[in-house]
A and B are shown apart, each in its own frame.
Chain A
């Protein structure tokens, strides 16, 4: 991959000998800065803190840093509409450009808040003595004496916290970058920790490692698409900066159009891979199933938010003037994603895979909002990302509590009759299922309503997308209703399935996720309003 990056960089032959030092507004990048420092502190803690205190300190550092970053967004927002980056001063070209605007800050805030919930669920140790979700020694061969020894010594993989914070840093950077190279760097920064986190499950380690390797290979594959597209677009516009790209499209000779369409689409492929859009979705179920469940919830919520932020910026800022060229490609992808995601969710028998396909279908619904191509659409997508993220973190957190003989019981038949023995957990999960199905009084209804109405308002194509979206939602209602029926109206399996009592941290995550789902369903106006106000991109 580096081999691919270097030529791309050295091709920037017009770069002057020395960059001008760019003006950095530190307040505007404060959230990013704090998260990055938090991650570095995490690395230091990992190196110097005595083992027995490490877990607790790591959790505190991570949560504290993320909270501080979230608070600093209020100050950062005073710089709304700022762009910055390395510039050569003469040709007004920028590299590693950042845009501090509504969508960027909104998504940074959303990723931070959802990230905190994610970290809290990862920190679950079931009373401090029991096993957490992560393997005690990630580098050991599964089943080897090294692993046994590590388990016996009570080792904990507290590296997950700095890794998660690094991933969050990349995720926050992703929708904030304003050029293709910066976007690529952010993509890799967020992906690499996730590849490692995926492979760290305590139980069924082979499955987890396989998922990790698959995710890495396919992620590298998609990155190659992204870079190839970047190269083509650079060839077309002579710049990777979104503003230049946009203006080049309106001035470039028609003969160059052969580069534009493939370039645009290939860059989109790299981003669509991250949200799990069809046909770039194949990794999703395997990785969601193999990864430790708290990591899955974190990925489902935050990666999706970051990647949709990047898609929005590319579609609305970088390539907006060539919309007629590539929007059909995204329409096809959106249709495929909704249909395949909802149809395939029908036959799933594993809860995590079911939720994976559900997340694919949701990605399709969000794409419908992206394709509305106006501010209403942006607002709807931002709202959807938050609504879905909170619900999905809570849902995966509940999945991690349902156990049989100490191992997570993810097969659907193991969930039968859960409602009788554990009414609270089952009711919360049923409520989240209703939200995924888009039943009124849940955030799922409002978010679907918002994206579909934005799409209908955008014209005939949008209407077709919305109609397909509504039909696909109807299919998924079956899936979710089935789970509810299974939990409340079926006989429990012979072997006992229990819901372990979580610590305050996981309880907090589940409660916040569920309450947010309810609150956004009943009184969505304030967040809708915020998302609407945050829907203006800076160029």
Chain B
């Protein structure tokens, strides 16, 4: 309890939080004006998905366009809500929209409603804006021109747009929900959309497998989230944000808070591809590239960060859980960066980078009030530059017959000028070169990681700093291998710039990557904006290394990483087949053996399950199968033998059951 009081006293955010979310009456204000129509945000894309899915082939012609328009419609609503919010004082900005009484079971009442506050509106703008741009991009991406100049649409283009709309609706529900249970609905919804989109080209068995892998890893995480909700219900008797977060901030049992925090973190790890549930993200790149940009870079995978920041009062009441968040973030950011250094598949390299960048956000989110705002700020910036780079990668693939091997790229800067330029801006942004956006967000996280006492700032700050150096290396490697150096193209490719539908979204995202950080960062506007939700940065907290020194150190490391990449991948020739490499490279190329580790946990049992499915008479447990699913499968096969078809055995089972249970009761009493 002593620690708790200490935490409460030293962290002003708890009080501020309560003030931001829970006003005098103990609730956020009821929504007024346009905010009362915030449900349109979810309804518009959901309508699109419904029309496209139910309308069938009849909507083939106008469906994709309709989906895009509805997505932009959601953006306009989001913008209006944002403007209305700006018009109110900082403390009155959070509003709640009550939709309907959802579940009433005895004394437990839960209404489905939306919480429109600074945090959720930030996400709404990111999701709808980037999402709509990617809708536009997809209009071009799902068409291919053949040699005669005829345009061929993907046969399932309509279904693709339906899923995209479904995703946008689910993601908006996730960030707008006013209770953990409704958040869970959105959480499952984005999982479903992600699953459907990864396996979109499911005629390829490898893609279907990737979709299943993502599904399984996400289930593990979702399981954690559902347990967290159950504990909340058990402990608080409620699952809405106002009650749970309000009480977590005032009088909470640290043990319960730690349990909830760790389970929430498990959920976040599954969705955000954090260690140890990171393995699915690389394979998820099997989905169409716009999907990778929207879901697996800009929005869905950042949901875990949202969850942690939203649950801030819980984590602040549970220092252990908070420490675990930081550790997970630090491990993942290094893990992703190392893996990114060895990948030759452009999308998988970007995926590793996404994982690493989310590691940064997670680390910041675990640092407490010093980090929340920067976690979200970096998330926003990352949403722009990473989505931009993914769209760039898609544009490259479009021009290169859907190849993804960077060893067969090179020298594309001449052939695809716009792609090259927009990608370059994204590259500078992720490196953290001033004044591009990444500089304003990532450097702040590194600074924040160095704040504290004892060993922590040195370990976590060190990890963040080294991560920045490695990031510079692998992102420069990716950029140089793709756009610079000698052409290593296969004979049948004729790279060309993509159409306007694809380049315009890339240009807009590049402009954002270039200037958004400059506008929001140094002015401190963003941190002030989020302050009512995340709490103010504590006064007088200084990094253990002076800020200017830290800044120079970071930039030197970044320059060093980029220079090394320049020497090896621009100046020197890049072999078209990957060299064997040393042990470290081999390990990184194989994702640091994460698959081998997971095999025992996820894959072999999966094979076992499918095998018993296909063959009528399963031999039961395959000798090699291990893990939990195999245990269930094995127990199942054994129990099945009791079901032998003889009525006499069944009767005997009943009798034995009666006798055994009666006997047990006798012993008990």
> Do A and B truly interact?
yes
**A489-B212 in contact given A279-B653, A525-B100 (Cβ < 8 Å):** yes
Binds B, one of A39-47, A386-394, A439-447: A439-447
Nearest-neighbour CB distance to chain B for A363, whole angstroms, equals 14
In the assembled complex, the Cα of A222 lies from the Cα of B208 at a distance in Å of 47
User: Is there a chain A Cβ closer than 8 Å to B669's Cβ?
Assistant: yes
Which 6 pairs show the lowest CB-CB distances between chains A and B? A279-B657, A376-B106, A282-B650, A489-B208, A347-B636, A346-B636
Q: Is the CB of A413 within 8 A of B654?
A: no
User: Is there a chain A Cβ closer than 8 Å to B668's Cβ?
Assistant: yes
Chain A hits for B597, CB < 8 A: none
**A261-B202 in contact given A440-B188, A489-B212 (Cβ < 8 Å):** no
Within 8 A of B (CB), among A332-348: 332-333, 340, 343-347
Q: Which residue of B lies closest to A441 (CB)?
A: B185
Chain B hits for A466, CB < 8 A: 230
Chain B hits for A282, CB < 8 A: 642-643, 649-650, 653-654
The digit string for A453-496, where 1 denotes a CB below 8 A from any CB of B, is 11011000001001100100011011001100110110000000
Chain A hits for B662, CB < 8 A: 261-262, 265, 329
The digit string for A256-297, where 1 denotes a CB below 8 A from any CB of B, is 000001100110010001000011101101100000000000
Q: Is the CB of B661 within 8 A of A266?
A: no
Nearest-neighbour CB distance to chain B for A162, whole angstroms, equals 28
Of the candidates B102, B103, B616, B639, which one forms a contact with A413 in the assembled complex, judged by CB atoms under 8 Å apart? B616
Chain B hits for A265, CB < 8 A: 658, 661-662, 665
Q: Is the CB of A214 within 8 A of B106?
A: no
Chain B hits for A325, CB < 8 A: 669
State the main secondary structure of chain B at its contact with A.
helix
Q: Which residue of B lies closest to A446 (CB)?
A: B103
In the assembled complex, the Cα of A242 lies from the Cα of B599 at a distance in Å of 57
Q: Is the CB of A261 within 8 A of B669?
A: yes
Binds A, one of B71-79, B219-227, B299-307, B510-518: B219-227
Q: Is the CB of A482 within 8 A of B609?
A: yes
Q: Is the CB of B647 within 8 A of A218?
A: yes
Within 8 A of A (CB), among B616-660: 616, 618, 629, 632-633, 635-637, 639-640, 642-643, 645, 647, 649-651, 653-654, 656-658, 660
19 A-B residue contacts at CB 8 Å?
A217-B651, A218-B654, A221-B651, A279-B656, A279-B657, A279-B660, A282-B643, A285-B643, A329-B665, A343-B632, A344-B640, A346-B609, A347-B612, A449-B103, A450-B103, A453-B105, A477-B219, A482-B609, A524-B102
Nearest-neighbour CB distance to chain B for A103, whole angstroms, equals 15
User: Is there a chain B Cβ closer than 8 Å to A428's Cβ?
Assistant: no
In the assembled complex, the Cα of A437 lies from the Cα of B329 at a distance in Å of 32
**A454-B651 in contact given A329-B661, A346-B633, A489-B211 (Cβ < 8 Å):** no
Chain B hits for A439, CB < 8 A: 188
Chain A hits for B635, CB < 8 A: 343
User: Is there a chain A Cβ closer than 8 Å to B108's Cβ?
Assistant: yes
Chain B hits for A343, CB < 8 A: 632, 635-636, 639
Beyond known contacts A266-B658, A282-B653: 17 more, CB 8 A cutoff = A217-B651, A218-B647, A221-B651, A278-B657, A325-B669, A329-B661, A343-B632, A346-B609, A411-B616, A446-B103, A452-B230, A454-B106, A467-B230, A482-B609, A485-B212, A489-B212, A525-B100
**A376-B658 in contact given A346-B633, A478-B609 (Cβ < 8 Å):** no
State the main secondary structure of chain A at its contact with B.
helix
Q: Is the CB of B223 within 8 A of A474?
A: yes
Q: Is the CB of A286 within 8 A of B645?
A: yes
Nearest-neighbour CB distance to chain B for A410, whole angstroms, equals 12
User: Is there a chain A Cβ closer than 8 Å to B184's Cβ?
Assistant: yes
**A379-B105 in contact given A265-B658, A411-B616 (Cβ < 8 Å):** yes
In the assembled complex, the Cα of A94 lies from the Cα of B618 at a distance in Å of 56
In the assembled complex, the Cα of A412 lies from the Cα of B662 at a distance in Å of 39
Classify chain B's interface size: 35 or more
Of the candidates A273, A349, A450, A452, which one forms a contact with B654 in the assembled complex, judged by CB atoms under 8 Å apart? A273
User: Is there a chain A Cβ closer than 8 Å to B101's Cβ?
Assistant: yes
In the assembled complex, the Cα of A440 lies from the Cα of B669 at a distance in Å of 41
Of the candidates A225, A285, A286, which one forms a contact with B658 in the assembled complex, judged by CB atoms under 8 Å apart? A225
**A489-B199 in contact given A344-B639, A347-B618, A528-B104 (Cβ < 8 Å):** yes
In the assembled complex, the Cα of A221 lies from the Cα of B227 at a distance in Å of 41
User: Is there a chain A Cβ closer than 8 Å to B582's Cβ?
Assistant: no
**A475-B632 in contact given A343-B639, A446-B103 (Cβ < 8 Å):** yes
Q: Is the CB of B654 within 8 A of A280?
A: yes
In the assembled complex, the Cα of A344 lies from the Cα of B642 at a distance in Å of 11
User: Is there a chain B Cβ closer than 8 Å to A328's Cβ?
Assistant: yes
Nearest-neighbour CB distance to chain B for A43, whole angstroms, equals 30
Chain B hits for A454, CB < 8 A: 105-106
In the assembled complex, the Cα of A457 lies from the Cα of B230 at a distance in Å of 11
In the assembled complex, the Cα of A105 lies from the Cα of B645 at a distance in Å of 38
The digit string for B82-113, where 1 denotes a CB below 8 A from any CB of A, is 00000000000000000011111111100000
Chain A hits for B647, CB < 8 A: 213-214, 217-218
Q: Is the CB of B105 within 8 A of A456?
A: no
User: Is there a chain B Cβ closer than 8 Å to A532's Cβ?
Assistant: yes
The digit string for B135-149, where 1 denotes a CB below 8 A from any CB of A, is 000000000000000
**A349-B234 in contact given A218-B647, A325-B669, A528-B104 (Cβ < 8 Å):** no
Within 8 A of B (CB), among A281-331: 282-283, 285-286, 325-326, 328-329
In the assembled complex, the Cα of A286 lies from the Cα of B640 at a distance in Å of 12
Of the candidates B103, B211, B226, B665, which one forms a contact with A261 in the assembled complex, judged by CB atoms under 8 Å apart? B665
Chain B hits for A269, CB < 8 A: 654, 658
Q: Is the CB of B106 within 8 A of A440?
A: no
In the assembled complex, the Cα of A345 lies from the Cα of B227 at a distance in Å of 23
In the assembled complex, the Cα of A529 lies from the Cα of B102 at a distance in Å of 10
Q: Is the CB of B654 within 8 A of A332?
A: no
Of the candidates A218, A347, A379, A524, which one forms a contact with B106 in the assembled complex, judged by CB atoms under 8 Å apart? A379
Nearest-neighbour CB distance to chain B for A348, whole angstroms, equals 8
**A328-B668 in contact given A482-B610, A489-B202, A524-B103 (Cβ < 8 Å):** yes
Q: Which residue of A lies closest to B202 (CB)?
A: A489
Q: Which residue of B lies closest to A440 (CB)?
A: B185
Chain A hits for B241, CB < 8 A: none
User: Is there a chain B Cβ closer than 8 Å to A375's Cβ?
Assistant: yes
In the assembled complex, the Cα of A409 lies from the Cα of B642 at a distance in Å of 25
Q: Which residue of B lies closest to A424 (CB)?
A: B56
Q: Is the CB of A347 within 8 A of B649?
A: no
In the assembled complex, the Cα of A268 lies from the Cα of B463 at a distance in Å of 62
Which one of B103, B645, B650 has the greatest number of beta carbons of chain A within 10 Å?
B650
In the assembled complex, the Cα of A379 lies from the Cα of B106 at a distance in Å of 8
Of the candidates A214, A345, A453, A478, which one forms a contact with B650 in the assembled complex, judged by CB atoms under 8 Å apart? A214
Chain A hits for B226, CB < 8 A: 470
Chain B hits for A532, CB < 8 A: 104-106
Chain A hits for B643, CB < 8 A: 282, 285-286, 344
In the assembled complex, the Cα of A333 lies from the Cα of B326 at a distance in Å of 44
Q: Is the CB of B632 within 8 A of A346?
A: yes
**A463-B234 in contact given A266-B658, A347-B640, A474-B223 (Cβ < 8 Å):** yes
In the assembled complex, the Cα of A457 lies from the Cα of B108 at a distance in Å of 10
User: Is there a chain A Cβ closer than 8 Å to B614's Cβ?
Assistant: yes
In the assembled complex, the Cα of A205 lies from the Cα of B642 at a distance in Å of 24
User: Is there a chain B Cβ closer than 8 Å to A523's Cβ?
Assistant: yes
Q: Which residue of B lies closest to A456 (CB)?
A: B234
Nearest-neighbour CB distance to chain A for B107, whole angstroms, equals 8
**A488-B105 in contact given A340-B639, A456-B230 (Cβ < 8 Å):** no
In the assembled complex, the Cα of A346 lies from the Cα of B103 at a distance in Å of 31
The digit string for A397-419, where 1 denotes a CB below 8 A from any CB of B, is 00000000000000111000000
Chain B hits for A376, CB < 8 A: 105-108
In the assembled complex, the Cα of A489 lies from the Cα of B107 at a distance in Å of 44
User: Is there a chain A Cβ closer than 8 Å to B129's Cβ?
Assistant: no
Nearest-neighbour CB distance to chain A for B216, whole angstroms, equals 9
User: Is there a chain B Cβ closer than 8 Å to A159's Cβ?
Assistant: no
Chain A hits for B566, CB < 8 A: none
Of the candidates A222, A332, A524, A529, which one forms a contact with B661 in the assembled complex, judged by CB atoms under 8 Å apart? A332
User: Is there a chain B Cβ closer than 8 Å to A374's Cβ?
Assistant: yes
